[in-house]
Each structure stands twice: as C-alpha cells, then as structure tokens.
C-alpha cells in the first residue's frame, strides 16, 4: 500500500524533474527520525507558488502571500512552501515581509528548533546544517541560531518548546531556556486561541508532569489568563494524580479543582469555540448530576460512547470513585431507548396532537418530560401510549 511518504516523494520527483529543488521539512522529518507515526508532511521548494501551481492538477492557494500552496495528490494534502526568509513579525503571527530565497539552508535557518530544521530529499538523505539529529539523540530542544531572535520573531515558540518537552520528554538547552525566560512577557501579545492550542498539547502529552514542571519553573503561568490570578491552581494541578494525557476536557477538571472558578471563566478567558463550549458544559452538567444522584438511568442515558470514558476518568479524579466505562455502557444499552431519535413520537406528532397550543418552548420541555419517563421505564415507547399520556398530562395540568 502507498504511504503518505510515497506520495510526498512523488510530488518531490515531479518538482525535481521540472528542475526545482524539493524536500520534506519540519515535523515530519523529526517524527520519522523518532520512529513516530507521520500523518502530515510539509514540503519546501525553490519553485514559486505560480511555478508549483503550473505543475500539479489540484492546487489550493491557501497562503500564497506566505509562499504556501496545498497540493492534493492521491486524496492527501501537502503544504508546499517556497524557500523563504522572514524579515520580522510585528504581529507575532505572520511575517511582515516574506522574501523568497533559492537556498535550502537559509530556509532552514528561519525555523524554531534544530530538530525542526532538517530536510529530507527524494532519496531519503537528511540535510541537517544545524545538527538537529545530534540534538534529537541527546533529547535536547535547542533554538536555531540566536535564541533571543527566534523567540522575538514568534513568542509562540516559547510555548512550542514547552509542549515539545512535554510530548517528547526532552530537556531544553540552557541558552534556549534563558532566552525563553527573557522573552516570556511577549506571550501576552499572542492570540489566546494560539496559546490554547499549545497548552492543550502540553497538558495532554505523555510527559505532561515534566512539561508542567518546566512551564512552571519558567514562570509561564504568571502570564496566562486564569492561572495568573490563582497561583494555587497550578500547585493543585501538579499535586493532583490526574493523568492528563488524552484528557481533552482538562478545563472541566481544573474548574472543579479550583471551586472559585466556574467553567465559564475558562471558557471566556480562552475564547473556546462554540463546539468546545457545548462539550464542556454538557460534561459539567453530567458531573453535577452525578454529584447529586450517583449513577442513575438518566445519567447513563446522557452519556455516549465518545464521552463515557472521559466521564469515568473525571469522576475518578474529582470524586475519587472508580466507575467502569463498560458497566455504564451495558447499563445504557439496557435502557428502552438510547437517544431522542428513537422516541416513538416527534415534534410534528405532538403539534398535531395539541393543535390549540401556540408554538413555544413548551414543545421542547414536553419532549424532555416524555424522554425522561420513557428512559425511567414509567412510560412505554409506543406512539399510542405516549399520545394518551400527553392528553392526560395536559388535561390534569389544565384541571
Ligand atoms: N512558530 C513556528 C511554527 C513552526 N515553525 C516551523 O514550521 C514547521 C511546521 O510547523 P507546524 O506544522 O506548526 O509544527 P510541527 O513542527 O510540524 O509539529 P506538530 O505537527 O507536532 O505541531 C516546524 O517544524 C518549524 O520548522 C517555526 O519555525 N516556528
């Protein structure tokens, strides 16, 4: 079977045959050397975006102003970026000016860390002008060239260093670490959404204890919303037994750890997306419900396969109770229905039945009551029976 690496090499071959240089660069080279799975490959070339576009059938112009296009091949996408050097980052996000260059080493020299500044050609030879391979072997994160400049260009690299330390269990080289310390105040200028992406990766990583320790030693949390106002929070996180790896809802856990914050404080401070907000709020509701009633039929009904495992992890760490995801799933499967879609009536049926009622929130509330009764077994999931019950419910309500 053709791998993502084979497809990338085909793209490189097409560029080489047209007279251009082309290489695999960045995280893919690093991860291959670490024997980690590679799901995403970036390419660099001396061809301009216009020249790349002319060579391939499916090209998406995603970031032409930064020299990047996406080449689609065999149902996979590859970012292809023209060799460049960057003049400065006044918004700490996008380089102010991008100038194309023709030599690979200049392109590699603008990158953050030596382990991310290697390239691989079509034959699989590694081009490594900054000794990234040696640093990988020594398990060291080292800035390329002058560290103060690298972090000035993009202070997000400070967080990237910490999250790589957390993901890979690497140490940060002394000069690099000192430059991170000097430039640390610049992280307050970063968009909070970018900060959160790195923080998520740091906290969910395999070596998160070490990553958190390094972040705390550096003073990172003094510059981060919520954490900076609550120094005890990070102490509690460190002291907690919670294995954050894989725990996507760590904000919920932190909100429970620090009772003075409700979840909305985190949601607002980190500008969580609506989807994230929904997931976090649902989980928060379920945990509160668990706190008051324990494992009830109504509770297992609210959980689904995707959320059941993390719910159990959170219950263990917040309440110290050991629930088995499999047992909860069995209990859920034994319920009369698994989801609202399986109810024998829907909104249309109920509106037809209660023609004298004007549209309003009553319909959603009624469906919720029916759902609860069916789940608890006090009402059979049969259309006739439910309709009879609804008529009785309204008669008794109006009586
Ligand atoms: N602030 C940044 C972000 C990225 N890069 C460079 O761009 C490459 C690709 O960046 P990205 O895809 O964001 O990260 P990866 O290093 O590939 O790591 P991961 O996929 O784990 O996020 C990096 O390897 C690095 O060479 C950089 O120099 N400075």
- For the chain, the average pLDDT equals 90
Is the pLDDT reported for residue 279 higher than 90? no
Query: Among 129-143, 186-200, 384-398, whose mean pLDDT is lowest?
Result: 384-398
Which domain range does residue 55 map to? Answer: 1-132
111 CB under 6 A from ligand 1?
yes
Q: The CATH number of the domain where 77 resides is what? A: 3.30.460.10
pLDDT for residue 95: 60
- Out of 59-63, 209-213, 236-240, pick the least confident: 236-240
- Judge if 78 and 154 occupy the same domain: no
| DSSP state letters, 157-173 | HHHHHHHHHHHH-PEEP
Q: Is 126 helix (H, G, I), strand (E, B) or coil?
A: strand
Mean predicted confidence (pLDDT) in 176-180:
98
Say yes or no: 120 and 181 in one domain. Answer: no
User: Among 225, 242, 259, where does a domain finish?
Assistant: 242
Boundary residue ending a domain (101, 132, 163): 132
For residues 60 and 81, state if they share a domain.
yes
Q: Is 111 annotated as a binding residue?
A: yes
The answer to whether the annotation marks 327 as part of a ligand binding site is no
Confidence of residue 245 (pLDDT cuts 50, 70, 90): low
157 and 100 share one domain:
no
The reply to whether 25 and 146 lie within a common domain is no
Strand-pair partners of 127: 119
**Is the pLDDT reported for residue 238 higher than 70?**
no
347: domain CATH number? Answer: 1.10.246.80
Strand ranges inside 83-152, DSSP E: 84-86, 98-100, 119-120, 126-127, 140-141
* Interval 46-54 mean pLDDT: 96
Q: Looking at the domain assignment, is residue 283 inside a domain? A: no
**Cα 156 to ligand 1 centroid, rounded to whole Å:** 11
Residues 151 and 86 in one domain: no
Whether the CB of 27 sits within 6 Å of ligand 1: yes
For residue 201 and ligand 1, the question of a CB distance below 6 A is answered with no
| Domains in the chain, number | 3
Ligand 1 nearest atom to the CA of residue 117, by list position: 26
Nearest CA to ligand 1 atom 14: 27
Calculate mean pLDDT across residues 271-297.
87
Binding residue per annotation — 160? yes
The per-residue b/e assignment along 119-128, b for 16 or more CB within 10 angstroms, e otherwise, is bbbbeeeebb
- Same structural domain, 151 and 201: yes
> Nearest-CA neighbor of 142 among 106, 124, 118?
118
Cα separation values, 277 from 218, 254, 309, 332, Å: 30, 15, 19, 25
Residue nearest to atom 28 of ligand 1 (CA): 111
The total of other beta-carbon atoms located within 10 Å of residue 37's CB is 7
CA–centroid distance, residue 164 to ligand 1 (Å): 11
What is the CA angle 45-50-56, rounded to 5? Answer: 75
Higher pLDDT, residue 157 or 255 = 157
Assign 234 a pLDDT band (cuts: 50, 70, 90). Answer: confident
**pLDDT interval class at 356 (50, 70, 90):** confident
Same domain, yes or no, for 161 and 228? yes
The least confident of 56-60, 373-377, 394-398 is 394-398
What pLDDT score was predicted for residue 203?
85
Of the three residues 77, 97, 132, the one that is the final residue of a domain is 132
Identify the band that residue 204 occupies on the pLDDT scale cut at 50, 70 and 90. confident
Q: Domain for residue 269, yes or no?
A: no
The answer to whether 238 is a known ligand-binding residue is: no
For 9-21, what is each residue's pLDDT tens digit? 999 999 999 999 9
Pair 126, 216 in one domain: no
Name the packing angle between helices 156-168 and 208-218 (round to 10°).
150
Residue 45 — φ and ψ, nearest 5°? -150, 160
Q: Is 81 in the pocket of ligand 1 (CB under 6 A)?
A: no
Residue 277: per-residue pLDDT = 85
60 membership: H or E segment, kind and range: strand 59-63
**With bands split at pLDDT 50, 70 and 90, how would you rate the model's confidence at 243?**
low
pTM (2 d.p.)? 0.83
Does 117 map to a domain? yes
| ipTM for the whole complex | 0.97
Alpha helices in the chain (DSSP H): 4-17, 27-33, 49-55, 104-109, 132-137, 147-153, 156-168, 174-183, 192-204, 208-218, 231-239, 250-257, 263-269, 274-293, 297-302, 305-319, 325-333, 347-353, 362-376, 383-398
């Amino acid at each position: 079977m053709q791998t993502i690496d084979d497809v990338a090499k085909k793209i490189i071959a097409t560029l080489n045959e047209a007279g251009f240089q082309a290489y695999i660069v960045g995280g893919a080279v690093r991860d291959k050397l670490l024997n980690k799975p590679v799901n995403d490959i970036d390419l660099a070339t001396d061809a301009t975006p216009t020249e790349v576009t002319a060579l391939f059938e499916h090209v998406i112009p995603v970031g032409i102003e930064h020299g990047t296009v996406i080449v689609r091949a065999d149902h996979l996408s590859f970012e292809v970026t023209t060799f460049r050097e960057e003049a400065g980052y006044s918004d700490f996000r996008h380089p102010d000016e991008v100038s194309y260059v023709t030599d690979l080493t200049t392109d590699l020299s603008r990158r953050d860390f030596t382990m991310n500044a290697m390239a691989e050609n079509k034959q699989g030879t590694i081009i490594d002008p900054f000794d990234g391979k040696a640093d990988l072997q020594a398990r060291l994160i080292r800035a390329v060239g002058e560290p103060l400049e690298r972090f000035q260009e993009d202070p997000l690299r400070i967080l990237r260093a910490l999250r790589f330390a957390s993901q890979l269990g690497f140490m940060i080289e002394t000069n690099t670490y000192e430059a991170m310390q000097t430039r640390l105040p610049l992280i307050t200028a970063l968009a909070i959404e970018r900060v959160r992406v790195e923080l998520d990766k740091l906290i969910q990583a395999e070596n998160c204890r070490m990553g958190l320790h390094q972040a705390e030693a550096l003073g990172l949390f003094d510059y981060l919303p919520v954490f900076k106002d609550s120094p005890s929070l990070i102490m509690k996180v460190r002291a907690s037994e919670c294995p954050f790896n894989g725990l996507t809802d760590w904000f919920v856990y932190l909100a429970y750890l620090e009772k003075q914050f409700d979840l909305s404080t985190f949601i607002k401070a980190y500008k969580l997306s609506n989807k994230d907000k929904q997931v976090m709020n649902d989980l928060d509701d379920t945990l509160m419900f668990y706190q008051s009633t324990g494992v009830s039929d109504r509770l297992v009904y609210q959980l689904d396969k995707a959320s059941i495992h993390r719910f159990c992890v959170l219950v263990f760490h917040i309440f110290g109770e050991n629930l088995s995801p499999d047992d909860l799933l069995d209990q859920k499967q034994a319920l009369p229905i698994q989801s609202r879609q399986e109810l024998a009536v829907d909104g249309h049926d109920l509106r037809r039945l209660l023609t004298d009622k004007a549209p309003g929130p009553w319909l959603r509330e009624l469906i919720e009551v029916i759902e609860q009764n069916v789940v608890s077994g006090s009402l059979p999931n049969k259309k006739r029976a439910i309709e009879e019950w609804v008529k009785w419910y309204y008669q008794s309500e109006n009586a």
